[in-house]
Structure 1
């Protein structure tokens, strides 16, 4: 593999993560719908930033999560995307004016895809294409129990960011 090809590849590793809960704003969509100009995900990000949730990031976990859950079938079916924060199950978070959704992510084994450093709107779609083609050829099987993107907000710069995408596997 040439050096330039390597630069565009994400890094991959396997990690077991404990169960967690995410609270945030949600939308139901499909990958097909998101490929066109009428995609709902960019508007969902706007809703997240307008909701004031970012101000409620916990000190322990300065990250925003984009959780893909409630899959209808597989990568081609409908799913729910919740963009939000990790919450403690036992802490009731003050609801903002926005109707917030909460979802639990079970403990799972994940194939983690770490993007190259680059513009957010470039590296995230790029890594998802890599994920889809990886699982078309891999012996590893996705479980569709909940996949998520984790955005570390401590040194967040949308022009130069690295995003970890966690894909639940058997």
Structure 2
């Protein structure tokens, strides 16, 4: 998969008091510059450690020129999000963190991404070992 980063932030889910505002600003800016009916990716990378550490989150789409290459041979667990629930993405991430804490998945912490299809479907792709 080849993607172009539109915008990015560096944050932490647990220690950055501005995290929610950063995400809101990031997605607001992305919606202004992203063409309609475009599949958008929220890509998580540059992990400091695990899900409790700092990370970078970038917004990407497939239509731009520069490329980020995510290996097509990487192993991913794919989670479907209830897109009718405005808290659906966060709820799914909490479930993923719980599965990791319980040892049900072993994350690779390379590239994880949320895929927002033009039809409204949302999936979270978590790199696993």
Q: TM bucket by the smaller chain?
A: 0.7 to 0.9
**Residue 167 (1) aligns with residue 88 (2):** no
2:11 is matched with which residue? 29
1:83 aligns with 2:59: yes
Given that residues 12 and 19 in structure 2 are in contact (C-alpha distance below 8 angstroms), is that contact kept between their aligned partners in structure 1? no
Normalising by the residue count of structure 2, what TM-score does the alignment of the two structures yield? 0.84
Verify the 8 A CA contact 1:22 1:87 in the aligned structure 2: yes
Which residue number corresponds to residue 69 of structure 2?
A: 104
Match of 1:66 among 42, 54, 69: 42
Runs in 1 of length 4+ with deviation above 4 angstroms? none
Which of residues 38, 44, 53 is equivalent to 2:26?
44
Please give the root-mean-square deviation of Cα atoms over the aligned residues, in Å.
Answer: 2.3
Give 5+ residue unaligned stretches, structure 2. none
For structure 1, the residue ranges without an aligned partner over 5 or more in a row are 1-18, 94-101, 157-161
Larger-gyration structure (1/2): 1
Number of equivalenced pairs? 127
Instruction: Quote the Cα distance in structure 1 between the aligned partners of 2:109 and 2:117.
Output: 23
